[in-house]
């Protein structure tokens, strides 16, 4: 796969370069020709894709892969030999049609060749083989352009043409693929199971749209990822003519093409780590907007060296947007509609790529080469730059819309988020990945947290879920000792900073010994108080800096965030009136407790997706119903397997029933 993908990327570069060569210097004709190559490569997947998988299932997979690779070898050898527009497009279409039969055979074979627990790793390697070879292919294409003259002296057959040489190497890569498949006797002969690829594009779009439109977040992701492909597609579709306008040849084209995928790889590999502290929902829209801005800059700066640098940065933001969007899409959609949602997205991306790769060169051809004269000033511009400019504006606009549609901190400015993220004071929205579901209850004194945590636990257990109910402080043996120190009047006065550190110490041990093990086991964890209590009590209540207190808790918990935090809101005076005894914190003045309440409400305001605020003045059953409604909406709940329900009939009655 790696060698075949390398050859395929090399073939894409070569066929677009050949299309320009066959245009014989005609700018308009060159743009039309390059557009034709991209249309020929993408249209078969839109129309033949829905049935290719069904047909492929009826053949022996190994023999099918060998046959298709041999056919692709022959087609690519024929392109430089025949050397005409008609055969260039015909062979390209035939290659793509054959590839549509090879792909499902490969996809169906991989799950049978590796253990289940290794399938994800195998898919990652497959993606690396498919896309990681693009920069290598670009570098190889540039190298061939540089050495083709010397090679022609030694082998006159090539006549100094690097494009022909690239096509022959591509053909050799598919021949190597056929030889490899010939030796893989482990590939099963049975028919593959049906896959999402069998669903027609129209049906995928319709079914996916029905699930997408229900979620504001998911629809924002879909729109945003479409914008990312508009930006990348415009660069890829116009790269050859754009480089030619700047005075570059095939070597420069290879460098610019490789720069796009180098940037994508950098963004995918390092972007999530560099921006780990940034809100993922804001990061998605911001990175897409940045891609559009750099696309505009690319069009405005007519310098080949700067263009390469800009394209790397542009690709990095596009890659960051891509990996963030895919991750969030998997997290935000329920399991029962995830397949249709991804099918909708993939179909939409195919249509978008066909449109952008085909239309952008056509627009560039219509605009052509122009010049403006204003007094003694002459400005030259061309269709490729103008088209890239407007594609950048469109991508920027989509990024801004997507950002506002998914904005998760409405009362906090974007630049404030950036500043806090750089200082390490902004926690990642997604937190650490876990198998279970984590729910925290927060609120002031007397708000009824203990009652509601028990009611939720009983309901979840009745539904067949495994639940761990805990509290802070006191959820561990060490926590019980710390609880006595922190809440007993006998302790006396404690420094606010020491108090914050003691709570953080309890929380670190609580997460290590109780919460994280339960989540890793796939259980639902319900905790009565978590680190928002420290932000409210030690931050606002003790008048410390809430950001500093939050940072300590994030470090103590390794940024383990609850999936949902339920805040039971109650006026401080009413809550205190419900208490019969007062511990050290409960005995603080009313103003202390009012500051705590306001801090809780502020936390919920800036992150409404993760918080649920419930009026604790309502009846117990009404509050419980409101909590159940929100918990039932959590996509993570559907991932928690149900266990056998145990009867709540007392053991004595069970024995009598059996005896009778």
- The structure tokens listed for 200 are 């027609």
Measured CA to CA in angstroms, residue 444 lies from 288, 503, 595, 623 at distances of 40, 17, 10, 16
pLDDT in tens, 510-562: 999 999 999 988 899 999 999 899 999 888 888 788 878 888 888 888 878 88
On whether the CB atoms of residues 546 and 500 are closer than 8 A, the answer is: no
Please give the distance of CA 459 from its chain centroid, rounded to a whole number: 34
Lowest mean pLDDT among 298-312, 376-390, 588-602: 376-390
Residue 373 has pLDDT above 90, yes or no: no
Residue 505 has pLDDT above 90, yes or no: yes
pLDDT in tens, 111-157: 677 776 565 556 556 666 776 777 788 788 878 777 766 666 666 65
Measured CA to CA in angstroms, residue 299 lies from 241, 293, 404, 568, 612 at distances of 13, 10, 26, 53, 46
pLDDT at 432: 47
The residue behind tokens 């929902």 is 281
564-569 β-sheet, strand order: 467-471, 524-528, 437-443, 564-569, 611-615
Domains of the chain (ranges plus CATH)?
A: 1-198 (1.20.1250.20), 223-430 (1.20.1250.20), 437-639 (3.40.50.300)
CA distance 335 to 318: 27
The residue behind tokens 């499902």 is 104
Residue 646 has pLDDT above 70, yes or no: no
- The structure tokens listed for 422 are 């750089």
pLDDT at 427: 46
Contacts of 20 by beta carbon, 8 Å cutoff, 6+ apart: 30, 33, 34, 240, 241, 244
C-alpha angle 356-360-366 in degrees, rounded to nearest 5 = 150
């Amino acid at each position: 796969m790696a060698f075949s993908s390398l050859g395929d990327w090399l073939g894409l570069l070569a066929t677009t370069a050949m299309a320009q060569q066959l245009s014989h210097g005609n700018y308009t004709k060159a743009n039309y020709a390059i557009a034709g190559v991209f249309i020929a490569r993408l249209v078969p997947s839109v129309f033949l894709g829905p049935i290719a998988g069904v047909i492929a299932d009826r053949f022996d997979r190994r023999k099918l892969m060998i046959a298709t690779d041999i056919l692709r070898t022959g087609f690519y050898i024929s392109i430089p030999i025949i050397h005409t527009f008609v055969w260039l497009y015909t062979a390209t279409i035939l290659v793509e049609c054959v590839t549509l039969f090879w792909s499902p055979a490969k996809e169906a074979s991989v799950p049978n060749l590796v253990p289940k627990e290794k399938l994800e790793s195998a898919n990652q390697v497959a993606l690396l083989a498919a896309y990681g070879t693009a920069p290598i292919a670009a570098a190889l294409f540039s190298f061939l352009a540089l050495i083709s003259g010397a090679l022609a002296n030694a082998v006159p057959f090539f006549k100094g043409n690097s494009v022909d040489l690239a096509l022959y190497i591509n053909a050799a890569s598919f021949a190597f693929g056929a030889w490899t498949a010939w030796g893989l006797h482990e590939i099963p002969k049975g028919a593959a199971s049906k896959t999402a690829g069998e669903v027609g594009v129209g049906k995928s779009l319709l079914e996916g749209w029905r699930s997408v439109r229900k979620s504001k977040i998911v629809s924002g992701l879909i729109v945003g990822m479409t914008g990312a492909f508009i930006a990348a597609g415009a660069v890829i579709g116009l790269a050859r003519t754009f480089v030619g306008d700047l005075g570059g040849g095939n070597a420069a084209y290879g460098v610019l093409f490789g720069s796009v995928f180098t940037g994508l790889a950098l963004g995918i590999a390092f972007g999530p780590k560099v921006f780990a502290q940034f809100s993922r929902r804001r990061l998605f829209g911001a990175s897409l907007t940045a891609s559009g801005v750099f696309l505009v800059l690319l069009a405005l700066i007519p310098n080949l060296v700067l263009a390469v640098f800009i394209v790397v940065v542009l690709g990095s933001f596009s890659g960051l947007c891509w990996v963030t969007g895919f991750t969030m899409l998997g997290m935000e959609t329920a399991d029962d509609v995830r397949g249709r949602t991804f099918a909708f997205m993939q179909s939409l991306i195919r249509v978008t790529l066909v449109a952008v790769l085909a239309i952008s060169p056509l627009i560039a051809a219509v605009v052509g080469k122009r010049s403006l004269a204003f007094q003694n000033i002459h400005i030259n511009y061309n269709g490729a730059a103008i088209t890239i400019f407007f594609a950048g504006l469109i991508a920027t606009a989509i990024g801004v819309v997507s950002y506002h549609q998914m904005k998760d901190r409405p009362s906090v400015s974007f630049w404030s988020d950036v500043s806090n993220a750089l200082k390490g004071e902004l926690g990642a929205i997604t937190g650490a990945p876990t198998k279970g579901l984590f729910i925290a209850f927060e609120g002031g004194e007397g708000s009824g947290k203990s009652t509601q945590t028990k009611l939720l636990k009983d309901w979840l257990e009745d539904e067949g879920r495994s639940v761990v109910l805990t509290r802070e402080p006191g959820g561990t043996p060490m926590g019980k000792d710390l609880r006595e120190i922190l809440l007993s009047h006998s302790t006396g006065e404690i420094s606010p900073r020491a108090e914050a550190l003691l709570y953080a110490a309890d929380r670190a041990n609580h997460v290590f010994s109780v919460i994280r093990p339960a989540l890793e086991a796939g259980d639902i964890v319900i905790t009565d108080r978590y680190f928002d209590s420290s932000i409210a009590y030690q931050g606002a209540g003790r008048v410390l800096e809430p950001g500093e207190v939050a940072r300590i808790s994030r470090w103590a918990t390794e940024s383990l965030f609850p999936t949902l935090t339920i805040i039971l809101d109650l006026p401080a005076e009413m809550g205190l009136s419900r208490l019969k005894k007062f511990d050290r914190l409960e005995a603080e003045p009313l103003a202390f407790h009012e500051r705590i309440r306001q801090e809780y409400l502020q936390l919920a305001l800036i992150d409404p997706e993760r918080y649920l605020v419930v009026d604790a003045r309502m009846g117990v059953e009404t509050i419980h119903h409101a909590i159940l409604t929100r918990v039932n909406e959590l996509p993570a709940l559907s991932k928690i397997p149900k266990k056998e329900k145990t009867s709540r009939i007392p053991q004595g009655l069970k024995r009598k029933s059996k005896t009778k």
